[in-house]
């Protein structure tokens, strides 16, 4: 199917617009993909990492507060630090619960988080046991202190009483028994002192066990020797309780040591659980970091793919635009060059030119119209040339007749018969001249009519060229519209660039906050650096896209320039058509002059016919009208000369045209 020129240009620009839309669509798809990847990092992966780091921080703070609690001896401080510890554990559990909804689509991370949660629960139970044992140890320590003070007081009382007794008593047996009692009690006190210095509970238990009953035996011996010994009976019973009974000081020492051993054991278990929780949490963090790294790699791949896609589409669109431009220029330039060449020949008067009307577009229609105009002009001028030749013959004949008439007038008196014959011949010739003049006048009328028709055809041609110029101008407007679309794309890219800058600033602020957090914010600083790097790469990608759009705008401007040149050439064709119309108007004016001259010739021929008739009818009075006949002959001669001159000028004008 053959398409018209306007259809080809429209299809070319439509294809170019589609290509530009494809490039824009590819850029939007690539940016959307990058945005999705970045959104996955910022909305999914980054909160998971932040949450995991926060739960590790809470766990470390909880463990730190646990040791602070274990280091405290004051009950109020212990209660306060215990509350802080429990608050840390609650916050840790809350952080885990906050992470759970973020891991609905990540079963592996959910499983690891469940493991962390279970270990953290075990850790909480173990920590509660440790705190309970610590409180028991503090209670036992307080009781030990109280019992030690009680033991010391009672032992001092017994020692004071026995010293006073020894210094005052005259009972030697009693004094000896009192001294033995004092030695036994002192021996036990020394064992306690050694234990308090060395902490060797086993030796203390062995020594106390080996001396079991010695204090009561010594007191029993003292009681036998001295009845006054009954005064310290309650003190001796209390001292024996401290050393040998379950609620005594030695038993408290053992219970305190057992509690301390159990506390150390539980602390070891707690530390192991903490290590397990930390290991599981670190594994969770590492897995989350791997997920973030995977998301980052996917974003980089999406960025590379988008960049490659945009470059490929831009190169393809540029090549396609150049191809369309060459096709459009070739479609217009070649026929315009042919038309210009033929019109130049026509301007020089060559009416044998023929425009190529085999094309099925506007140039073919224009060629057909011009061929019709040229053919009509050629036919008219051929008719005018024939009439001019006949006119020249008639003018020459009239001139000869006038000369013969003049000679006959000189010999009229001698050659009356010859004059009469010549008059008859002149009448015939004048009739022929009149007939030829009428024929010439009809031809001139026809030429004038055809010239007006040619003028109308040229007007139609001028209208078609103007419509073509308007269509080209509309194409230029469409190209300018494409340039405006490119400007809108620039605005969109500026928006993306601003978003990347804002992301970069947010990442920088996050890095600053992480730096303020010290060691606890190192992980978050790494994430902030990664986000800032992604923002920088996004900004670079938008810069590259904007550069490609600028190149595309340059290509569109080149298309606009080519279309503007086509519009200027169409305007030049309009000017040439106007010039042709003016030339036709001049030709019409010349034809009108020829028509006027032919009318004058016809009038002169009629006058000659009347004169000859008068010569024929009034031959008897030829002598009286000889002067009038001479004047008529002279006028006929002048008219013939004038007619011959006009005929020669007309032939000179016709020689300018190649028929």
Does residue 337 lie in a domain region? no
Does residue 329 lie in a domain region? no
- Tell me the pLDDT tens digit for each residue of 419-473: 667 767 767 776 776 677 678 777 767 877 877 786 787 678 778 767 877 876 7
CATH number at residue 520: 1.10.287
The dihedral sign for the CA sequence 303, 304, 308, 314: positive
User: Where is the domain boundary, 311, 339, 361?
Assistant: 311
- Tell me the pLDDT tens digit for each residue of 317-334: 888 778 877 777 777 777
Q: Above 80 in pLDDT, residue 151?
A: yes
- Tell me the pLDDT tens digit for each residue of 189-208: 899 999 989 889 899 899 88
Helix/strand/coil for 99: helix
Does residue 330 lie in a domain region? no
CATH number at residue 245: 1.20.58.920
Q: Above 70 in pLDDT, residue 554?
A: yes
Q: Above 80 in pLDDT, residue 243?
A: yes
Does residue 457 lie in a domain region? yes
Q: Above 90 in pLDDT, residue 529?
A: no
pLDDT at 78: 83
User: Where is the domain boundary, 284, 311, 338?
Assistant: 311
End-to-end CA distance of the chain: 37
Pick the range with the lowest mean pLDDT from 18-32, 84-98, 233-247, 329-343: 18-32
Indicate whether 271 and 406 sit together in one domain.
no
pLDDT at 164: 93
- Tell me the pLDDT tens digit for each residue of 326-376: 777 777 777 778 778 877 877 777 778 777 777 777 777 777 787 887 788
Does residue 254 lie in a domain region? yes
Indicate whether 216 and 354 sit together in one domain.
no
Indicate whether 444 and 590 sit together in one domain.
yes
pLDDT at 613: 74
Q: How far is CA 113 from the centre of its chain?
A: 39
Helix/strand/coil for 646: helix
Does residue 192 lie in a domain region? yes
pLDDT at 97: 81
- Which domain covers residue 459, as residue numbers? 348-655
Pick the range with the lowest mean pLDDT from 72-86, 114-128, 252-266, 613-627: 613-627
Alpha helices in 199-248 (DSSP H): 201-210, 214-225, 233-244
Q: Once rounded to an integer, what is the mean pLDDT over residues 59-76?
A: 78
CA–CA distance, 30 with 306 (Å, rounded to integer): 4
CA–CA distance, 251 with 244 (Å, rounded to integer): 8
Q: Which residues contact 127 (CB under 8 A, 6 or more apart)?
A: 62, 66, 85, 89, 270
What percentage of residues in the chain have a pLDDT greater than 90?
10
pLDDT at 33: 66
pLDDT at 55: 67
Indicate whether 307 and 426 sit together in one domain.
no
Indicate whether 303 and 355 sit together in one domain.
no
Indicate whether 475 and 611 sit together in one domain.
yes
pLDDT at 423: 64
Q: Above 60 in pLDDT, residue 282?
A: yes
Structural domains in the chain (count)? 2
pLDDT at 134: 84
Indicate whether 298 and 374 sit together in one domain.
no
For residues 312-347, one letter each, b for 16 or more C-beta atoms within 10 angstroms of the residue's C-beta and e for the rest, the string is ebbeebbebbeebbeebeebbeebbeebeebbeebe
Does residue 244 lie in a domain region? yes
Secondary structure letter of residue 73 according to DSSP: -
Q: Above 90 in pLDDT, residue 179?
A: yes
Q: Above 60 in pLDDT, residue 513?
A: yes
| DSSP per-residue letters across 487-504 | HHHHHHHHHHHHHHHHHH
Does residue 463 lie in a domain region? yes
Q: Above 70 in pLDDT, residue 270?
A: yes
Indicate whether 79 and 209 sit together in one domain.
yes
pLDDT at 430: 62
Structural contact between residues 405 and 629, judged by C-beta atoms closer than 8 angstroms: yes
**Number of neighbours of residue 610 by Cβ within 10 angstroms:** 13
User: Where is the domain boundary, 282, 311, 340?
Assistant: 311
Structural contact between residues 566 and 331, judged by C-beta atoms closer than 8 angstroms: no
Pick the range with the lowest mean pLDDT from 6-15, 407-416, 513-522: 407-416
Indicate whether 367 and 289 sit together in one domain.
no
Of 143, 134, 145, the closest CA to residue 78 belongs to: 134
Helix/strand/coil for 459: helix
Q: Residue 352 class from Cβ within 10 Å (0-12 exposed, 13-18 middle, 19+ buried)?
A: exposed
Indicate whether 353 and 467 sit together in one domain.
yes
Helix/strand/coil for 171: coil
Q: Look up the pTM and report it.
A: 0.40
- Tell me the pLDDT tens digit for each residue of 88-144: 878 878 877 877 777 777 787 778 778 877 877 888 888 888 888 888 888 888 888
Indicate whether 617 and 475 sit together in one domain.
yes
Indicate whether 354 and 305 sit together in one domain.
no
Radius of gyration (Cα) for the chain, nearest Å? 66
């Amino acid at each position: 199917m053959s398409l018209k020129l306007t259809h080809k240009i429209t299809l070319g620009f439509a294809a170019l617009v589609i290509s530009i839309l494809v490039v824009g669509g590819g850029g939007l798809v690539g940016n959307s993909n990058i945005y999705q990847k970045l959104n996955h990092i910022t909305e999914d992966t980054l909160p998971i990492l932040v949450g995991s780091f926060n739960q590790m921080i809470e766990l470390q703070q909880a463990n730190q507060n646990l040791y602070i609690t274990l280091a405290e001896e004051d009950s109020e401080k212990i209660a306060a630090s215990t509350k802080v510890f429990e608050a840390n554990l609650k916050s840790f559990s809350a952080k885990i619960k906050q992470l759970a909804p973020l891991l609905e689509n990540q079963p592996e991370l959910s499983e690891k988080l469940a493991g962390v949660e279970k270990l953290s629960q075990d850790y909480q139970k173990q920590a509660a046991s440790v705190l309970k044992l610590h409180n028991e140890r503090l209670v036992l320590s307080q009781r030990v202190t109280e019992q030690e003070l009680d033991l010391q007081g009672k032992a001092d009382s017994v020692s004071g009483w026995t010293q006073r007794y020894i210094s005052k008593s005259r009972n030697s047996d009693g004094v000896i028994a009192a001294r033995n009692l004092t030695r036994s009690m002192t021996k036990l006190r020394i064992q306690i002192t050694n234990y308090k210095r060395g902490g060797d509970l086993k030796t203390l238990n062995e020594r106390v066990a080996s001396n079991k009953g010695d204090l009561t035996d010594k007191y029993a011996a003292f009681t036998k020797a001295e009845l006054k010994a009954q005064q310290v009976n309650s003190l001796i019973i209390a001292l024996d309780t401290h050393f040998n009974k379950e609620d005594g000081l030695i038993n408290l020492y053992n219970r305190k040591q057992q509690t301390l051993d159990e506390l150390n054991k539980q602390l070891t278990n707690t530390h192991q659980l903490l290590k397990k929780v930390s290991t599981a949490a670190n594994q969770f963090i590492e897995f989350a970091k791997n997920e973030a790294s995977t998301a980052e790699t996917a974003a980089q791949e999406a960025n590379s793919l988008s960049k490659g896609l945009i470059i490929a589409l831009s190169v393809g669109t540029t090549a396609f635009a150049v191809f369309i431009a060459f096709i459009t220029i070739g479609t217009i330039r070649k026929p315009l060059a042919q038309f210009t060449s033929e019109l130049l020949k026509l301007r020089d008067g060559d009416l044998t030119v023929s425009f190529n009307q085999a094309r099925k577009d506007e140039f073919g229609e224009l060629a057909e119209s011009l061929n019709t105009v040229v053919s009509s002009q050629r036919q008219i001028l051929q008719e005018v040339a024939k009439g001019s030749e006949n006119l020249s013959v008639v003018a020459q004949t009239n001139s000869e007749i006038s000369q013969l008439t003049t000679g006959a007038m000189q010999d009229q008196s001698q050659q009356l018969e010859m004059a009469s014959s010549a008059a008859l011949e002149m009448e015939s010739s004048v009739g022929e001249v009149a007939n030829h003049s009428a024929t010439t006048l009809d031809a001139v009328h026809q030429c004038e009519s055809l010239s007006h028709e040619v003028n109308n055809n040229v007007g139609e041609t001028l209208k078609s060229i103007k419509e073509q110029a308007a269509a080209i101008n509309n194409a230029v407007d469409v190209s300018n519209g494409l340039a405006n679309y490119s400007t809108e794309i620039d605005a969109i890219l500026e928006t993306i660039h601003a978003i990347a800058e804002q992301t970069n600033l947010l990442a920088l602020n996050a890095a600053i906050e992480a730096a303020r957090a010290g060691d606890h914010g190192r992980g978050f600083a790494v994430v902030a650096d990664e986000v800032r790097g992604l923002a920088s790469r996004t900004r670079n990608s938008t810069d590259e896209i904007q550069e490609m759009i600028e190149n595309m705008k340059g290509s569109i401007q080149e298309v606009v320039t080519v279309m503007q040149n086509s519009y200027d050439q169409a305007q030049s064709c309009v000017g040439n058509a106007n010039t042709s119309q003016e030339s036709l108007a001049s030709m019409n004016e010349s034809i009108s002059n020829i028509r006027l001259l032919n009318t004058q010739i016809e009038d002169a021929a009629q006058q000659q016919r009347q004169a000859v008739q008068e010569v024929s009818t009034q031959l008897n009075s030829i002598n009286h009208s000889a002067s009038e006949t001479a004047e008529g002959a002279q006028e006929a001669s002048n008219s013939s000369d004038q007619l011959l001159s006009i005929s020669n000028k007309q032939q000179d004008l016709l020689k300018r045209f190649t028929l």
